[in-house]
Amino acid sequence: MFGCSASAGWLTGASDESNWGHSMNEPERIDAGRMSEAPLVDAWQRGRSRRMRPLQIPGHKNRFADGADVLGSDLLGDLVRDDIPLQGGADDNAYRGRYLEQAEALWASSVGGDHSRFLVGGSSQGNISALTAAGGPGLRIAVDRTSHRSALAGLVVSGSTPEWVYPVIHPEFGLPLGVAAESLGELGDVVALFVTSPTYVGTMTDVRALADRCHAADRTLIVDQAWGAHLGFMPGFGALAQGADIVTTSVHKALMGYSQTAVVTVRGDRINAARLDRAVDLTATTSPSATLLASIDATRAVMDRHGESALSAAIEATSRMRAGLRQVRGLVVVDEAELGQPCDPLKLTLWLPRTGVDGVELAGLLWAQGHGVEAADADSIVMTLSMLDEPEFCAEMTDLLLSLIERIRGDSRPPAPAALWQVVPDVVMTPRDAFFAPRRRIPLAAAVGEVSAEQFCPYPPGVPLLAPGERITAEVVRDIAAAGRIGRVAYCSDPTLESVEIVSG
């Protein structure tokens, strides 16, 4: 099976417990024969079959599980029918079964980690937890400036000071290729490095080189692998296998978990597991849904049972899509063959300027036929494939893309690369200081020269054009307006983009 390791196991004992019944005892080893088990799924199924009428939360009292005609059943019945809480549902109030803990240990073992925590706040929660576990007030962390906005949240929560580092940008395509180890220079007083791999467009950083660089200086490497959960089940491909110390990954993106499910995993002793647990518990709900959490356990069991064959088939189908699309005159398929570096085998990114096609227009035509894409701008369109995209579907999508591109083809044009991948900010204060500073609102057009108290993130992908604590320039104002014309700019206080909150005083 992919990535099966016996380095982690059932976390037993009841001392020093954190939220959701986790113990701080050293893990035991898991027998390889148990890797296809799904203890939390089994507990969820038992909880559902009991049909309890609880004298405790949840307020829906499991009444929708049996299709009862009760208050709200017309609107809520289908939505919450399978909602089983972890506490008092899949497990008892004291978490005596420790089913979640067992499931987390199985995940860690499958991906070659030592300790994992399941998350219901997405990889955003994992990134905040990782940065909080690795950093602290006044500590410096080198952070890829093209990281997801959750990295900013982690800096605010932890109080760490960012030292921005920048990925290599393709000279023609304007897309990020990853942070190069040789570009880091001296690590100085930074305690950790935070990078994203795979990137949103599918390019992959040389994590092994970064790990060697960090570990030679006794520094911690954190990898946001939100888009690469499948890589952890491919021997040698995942960030943990390449030497990362702590990795966050989304189970709902490339795999099959419920939306917003994710896992954060540590390997080695540079990040103390108990410290990570405290950081996760700081950001976690105290009323977790066993339904969401069990979908992570189920996904891991499916991967341990069938992952090798399913991934091989999906990668082959995606490769055939690339081969077919590569025949289109002027179309660039952004992959390993084109770039000469590793790329996510299930991400399909097309670069369009030589075809004269506008990516936003192409995405709109696909949407009209029932096929949403991850992201699109004038130059590119990004699509994600998975193990549930059959070869027949991939072939159908190849034909559809071919016909649509030919329908709207135009003259070759100069590229207009997205600004968010190329931001080099003028940093005035830390994100945390800006977050808590006094603020006032002024028109964005009049804000040049001021210090932003908030962030502006084109979404997708959620990478900030402007972060708290950065000086607002005329170029930033222009780029925010341009991003707003083609899509959503999120996490700013004024969705019209007409005003901005600045640091005052």
CATH of the domain at 225: 3.40.640.10
Strand order in the sheet with 375-376: 332-334, 347-351, 380-384, 375-376
pLDDT digits (tens, 9 = 90+) for 466-493: 999 999 999 999 999 999 988 889 899 9
Confidence of residue 17 (pLDDT cuts 50, 70, 90): very low
The reported pLDDT for the residue numbered 4 is 34
CATH of the domain at 469: 3.90.100.10
* Cα–chain center distance at 12: 30
Q: Of 385, 408, 431, which residue sits at a domain end?
A: 408
Q: Of 365, 380, 408, which residue sits at a domain end?
A: 408
Residues 242 and 266 in one domain: yes
The reported pLDDT for the residue numbered 26 is 47
Q: Report whether pLDDT(8) > 70.
A: no
The reported pLDDT for the residue numbered 68 is 87
pLDDT digits (tens, 9 = 90+) for 172-201: 999 999 999 999 988 999 999 999 999 999
> What's the pTM?
0.92
Residues 159 and 188 in one domain: yes
pLDDT digits (tens, 9 = 90+) for 81-118: 999 999 999 999 999 999 999 999 999 999 999 999 99
Instruction: Flag whether 13 is in a domain.
Output: no
Instruction: Flag whether 345 is in a domain.
Output: yes
30: tokens are 């898991």
pLDDT digits (tens, 9 = 90+) for 231-263: 999 999 999 999 999 999 999 999 999 999 999
CA-to-CA distance for 17 and 381, rounded, in angstroms?
Answer: 46
The reported pLDDT for the residue numbered 30 is 75
Instruction: Flag whether 273 is in a domain.
Output: yes
Residues 88 and 176 in one domain: yes
Residues 275 and 169 in one domain: yes
CATH of the domain at 320: 3.90.1150.10
Any bridge partners for residue 115, and if so which?
266
Instruction: Flag whether 203 is in a domain.
Output: yes
pLDDT digits (tens, 9 = 90+) for 443-461: 999 999 999 999 999 988 9
Structural domains of the chain, count: 3
Residues 396 and 493 in one domain: no
Q: Which domain holds residue 393?
A: 305-408
By C-alpha distance, which of 424, 471, 475 is closest to 451? 471
pLDDT digits (tens, 9 = 90+) for 126-166: 999 999 999 999 999 999 999 999 999 999 999 999 999 99
Residues 264 and 399 in one domain: no
Question: Which amino acid, one-letter code, is at 136?
Answer: G
Residues 340 and 389 in one domain: yes
H helix intervals, 422-498: 431-436, 474-486
> For every residue of 384-415, which 3-state class applies, written as one string?
ECCCCCCHHHHHHHHHHHHHHHHHHCCCCCCC
Instruction: Flag whether 46 is in a domain.
Output: yes
Instruction: Flag whether 63 is in a domain.
Output: yes
- Mean pLDDT for 326-339 is 97
Q: Of 304, 334, 365, which residue sits at a domain end?
A: 304
Residues 214 and 332 in one domain: no
Residues 75 and 148 in one domain: yes
Instruction: Flag whether 3 is in a domain.
Output: no
Residues 475 and 341 in one domain: no
CA-to-CA distance for 123 and 106, rounded, in angstroms?
Answer: 19
Instruction: Flag whether 494 is in a domain.
Output: yes
Residues 338 and 293 in one domain: no
Residues 399 and 472 in one domain: no
